[in-house]
A and B are shown apart, each in its own frame.
Chain A
Amino acid sequence: MNDMRQALERQVIWNRLIALVEEQAQVLLKTAFGPITREAGDLSAGVYDARGRMLAQAVTGTPGHVNTMAMAVGHFLERFPVASMKPGDVYATNDPWLGTGHLFDFVMVTPAFLDQHLVGFFASTCHVIDIGGKGFSADATTVYEEGLLVPHLRIVEAGELNRTFFDMLSANVREPEQVRGDLLSLISCNAVAAKRLAAMMREFRLESLDAIAAGPLAAPVCSTRSNASLRIRRSA
């Protein structure tokens, strides 16, 4: 009986995580300033466990970032140890090798806390309208001509925006309001999702996401198999 409740609860939590990242993506769409994000939907949103492994990603968004964003949080954790992270911190980069592919894509990572304990991460990505350089990246022959590279930085510390960073960025791009606005909306959507995650964990009395992470990270193999066999049976 307890097993049944657990299985059921796990399925509900799993549905909730997917709904949560969908809400994260919707907030990004609603608050973004750049038309590439808000009209073309060139964005991604996802939730990660406390070790930086992706658990779920929003349906809304572009498939272009799927695998790159899945790896991106791990690169932040190599530079900023989990122990150094505080509630209200937010990290960003547009490193094309360690982020999602080119300088136009910013990855924003927000640690999620439950009662001062780090329980996971939210990451979101969007394509900003300009990043300086030649403007059209295919015209560039080196990455330096492509524009400004922002290394892994803590751009919000305990809720305080790093003004130096935003001033530097604004001085180097052609549409500073839109680019700054898009970064703020990435921060917003992660914050909304982190608040929802804490509420969800309280609702289901979870202290960590470990047990939940064990499910989806182990389950895809068997669900892929059963889907495959289902398809074979259908086509037979």
Chain B
Amino acid sequence: MSHDRTAGHLQKKLINARSHPGAFAGGTLKLNLKKAQDVMGAIKGLSVPWAAAGISEIVEENMASAARVHAIERSRPLERCTMIAFGGAAPLHATRLAERLGIRRILVPRDASVGSAVGFLRAPFAYELARSLTLRDDQFDAGAANRLLAEMAAAAKAIVAAGTKGKIEIRRSCEMRYIGQGHEIVVALPDTNLSLDDVKALRESYEARYEEQFHMRVHGVPVEFLTWNVVAAAASPAWQEPELPAPTRTAPREREVFDLNAGNSGRCPEFARDALVPLEWHPGPVVISEPQTTTVVPKGWRVQLARDGHLVLENSGQRP
């Protein structure tokens, strides 16, 4: 079943020319365009490209729904986020997903197809502690909170110190809610010992986040602090401009890509990722290909190779 589903997913990418039949997974896996077309052709009432586009649309819509539910669960406003598209398939779907979520900026990192592995190897060594201490904003015990936070910072720091000789950074946050509710919003804490003025400011931050998400503040109800989080992390190495190989400046090829909004296939330039000159914008429609993935940039978007080798996609603000 899951094999079939994956195969179907590949088929529709192939037909909409998002993936290249000969170059999939660096050319190690040959895709059969003819068989894919046969499968899509068997869907009644739709032409082959529309059947493929339809599958893609529904898949992307469902991914967007999942993202929205996750955002509510984590209490994060999606519209303000930059989407980081990693994994081999993400750059193919990223712009359509972003349009649905109101996200206007996408980053396709270097080595996007193995992003999780690269991230795991490069992430700074860190340890996170969470402890419960229930306090109300109208009866706050700053001493108890500060003692707990200091203890946690010392414990987390000791663990991280075993793995690094460098500087260790401490980040602190607290999960807060209106008394009586069952769901918390995480609010960042200042670096210094908490005072009663800080508590007022934290209530304000909490209520601002609450209002942003739920369009309301609940007046006359105390706010409670429940779970205290402390992260100790080895400092990330200072950002250095990586030495990128000189762009090959290979001229783009032409590629035919199905445009859902226009309802037909149109030609657009296809650049090899290593051909791009840093900081030059390319308006969509354009396709950026590399051995492990393909970044599809439709009309209404533009793309640039940033100085650090990541692709930056921006929405021009108008849906095509």
How many B residues touch the partner, as a band? 35 or more
Q: Mark A129-141, 1 if CB is under 8 A from B, else 0.
A: 0000000000000
* A12-B61 in contact (CB<8A): yes
Q: Contacts of A31 on B, CB cut-off 8 Å?
A: 181, 183, 214
Question: A169 near B: Cβ within 8 Å?
Answer: no
Q: Contacts of B47 on A, CB cut-off 8 Å?
A: 1, 4
Residue from A1, A19, A203 in contact with B65 in the complex, judged by beta carbons closer than 8 Å? A19
* B263-A178 in contact (CB<8A): no
* B263-A181 in contact (CB<8A): no
Stretch of A33-41, A64-72, A100-108, A218-226 with 4 or more beta carbons under 8 angstroms from chain B: A33-41
Known contacts A15-B65, A195-B215, A5 near B263 by CB under 8 Å: yes
Known contacts A5-B263, A26-B73, A177-B221, A32 near B181 by CB under 8 Å: yes
Report the Cα distance A39→B221, complex, angstroms: 20
Question: B3 near A: Cβ within 8 Å?
Answer: no
Question: A30 near B: Cβ within 8 Å?
Answer: yes
Residue from B53, B69, B73, B218 in contact with A8 in the complex, judged by beta carbons closer than 8 Å? B53
Q: Count A-side interface residues using an 8 Å CB cutoff.
A: 36
Within 8 A of A (CB), among B149-192: 178-183
Q: Mark B38-75, 1 if CB is under 8 A from A, else 0.
A: 00000001110010011001100110110011001101
Question: B124 near A: Cβ within 8 Å?
Answer: no
Name the distance in Å between A220's Cβ and chain B's nearest Cβ. 20
**Can you give 21 A-B contacts (C-beta < 8 A)?**
A1-B263, A4-B263, A5-B50, A5-B263, A8-B50, A15-B62, A16-B61, A19-B64, A19-B65, A19-B68, A23-B72, A31-B181, A33-B178, A33-B180, A33-B181, A38-B182, A178-B180, A181-B180, A181-B181, A191-B214, A191-B216
